Amino acid sequence: MTLSVCNTMQGTNRFFFRACCFLLLWPTAEIFAQTVDLDVPFVTTPQSVSEAMLTIAAVGKQDFLIDLGSGDGRIVILAAKKFGARGLGVEIDPQLVAASRTNAKQAGVANRSEFRTQDLFKTDLTRASVITMYLLPDVNIALRPKLLALKPGTRIVSHDWDMGDWLPDAELRVPAPEKKLGLDRTSRVMLWTVPAVVDGRWCSRAHPALTLAFTQKYQRADGEVTGLHAFKFAARLNGAHLLATGAGEAHLGGSRLVFNAASPLAGTWRRATGACAGK
């Protein structure tokens, strides 16, 4: 409204009114900048910890990394500069996004990094092969269903905060003397790999007298074979790779589960739509 009145003025009057409008609106812009709705405050990850996060996730040239709540852009910039990855930083504070773009230019990685003023909860994560986060426990938990739905094998690294009962696949303690909080001045770095979904029943033409069933919780699964040779085993998923204690290894691709030749379950299993042939 104020701007539209300004725009209808002519000549010197118009200049005068534009100056007034600017002065009127400037404090509003300031207040807006100060009242960005943050789910997490801006605290930076120390350099040693950023390096450990990218190292534990084995970030490389082939990766596309998304940093959720990217602050001044340091993790995306380091991933591009030292690890050769491409990346996107998602940050709700526009001033930090502007600073990140400047920092990326100064680091010579503006062509391999992008920064968007965006709410991390509304961000499409499907393009990422690696996701990094320095958020808060409740924010991690709120993000968990969306992270678990990503492509199997996507790596997720979190600084300090875990993912509740989804236990990490690997964990490090990193000295962080520059941290302002915490008695021991160390950081926790945790890695998760999104597991494929093996839960449910499976049938195989190579084993018509057997039915295979899994009960899965995150990257762990309990396997049970019923029929002619009944047995139980524990299994662990690393993305789409399944390692079954005493039952060999398998690769899971969509509705096919293929056990290696050394396994007692060797061959291809398909998701059961009804009872298996031998039942």
Could you list the residues that contact ligand SAM (CB under 6 A)? 38-40, 42-45, 67, 69-71, 74-75, 90-93, 96, 119-121, 134, 159
Identity of the residue, 69 or 152, whose beta carbon is nearer to ligand SAM in the bound complex: 69
Identity of the residue, 63 or 93, whose beta carbon is nearer to ligand SAM in the bound complex: 93
Place of tokens 């940050």: 91
Question: Using the 8-state DSSP alphabet, how is residue 46 labeled?
Answer: P
Q: Nearest approach, Cβ of 99 to ligand SAM (angstroms)? A: 10
Going by C-alpha positions, the residue among 80, 68, 71, 63 that lies closest to residue 45 is: 71
Identity of the residue, 21 or 139, whose beta carbon is nearer to ligand SAM in the bound complex: 139
How buried is residue 61: exposed, middle or buried, by Cβ count under 10 Å (0-12/13-18/19+)? exposed
Identity of the residue, 120 or 156, whose beta carbon is nearer to ligand SAM in the bound complex: 120
Q: Nearest approach, Cβ of 23 to ligand SAM (angstroms)? A: 28
Q: Nearest approach, Cβ of 175 to ligand SAM (angstroms)? A: 17
Identity of the residue, 89 or 195, whose beta carbon is nearer to ligand SAM in the bound complex: 89
Q: Nearest approach, Cβ of 120 to ligand SAM (angstroms)? A: 4
Rounded Cα distance, 232 and 275, in Å:
19
Going by C-alpha positions, the residue among 222, 200, 220 that lies closest to residue 273 is: 200
User: Contact at 8 Å (CB) between 268 and 254?
Assistant: no
Q: Nearest approach, Cβ of 47 to ligand SAM (angstroms)? A: 10
Largest Cα span, the chain: 95
Residue nearest to ligand SAM (CB): 69
Angle between helices 47-56 and 74-81 (to 10 degrees): 60
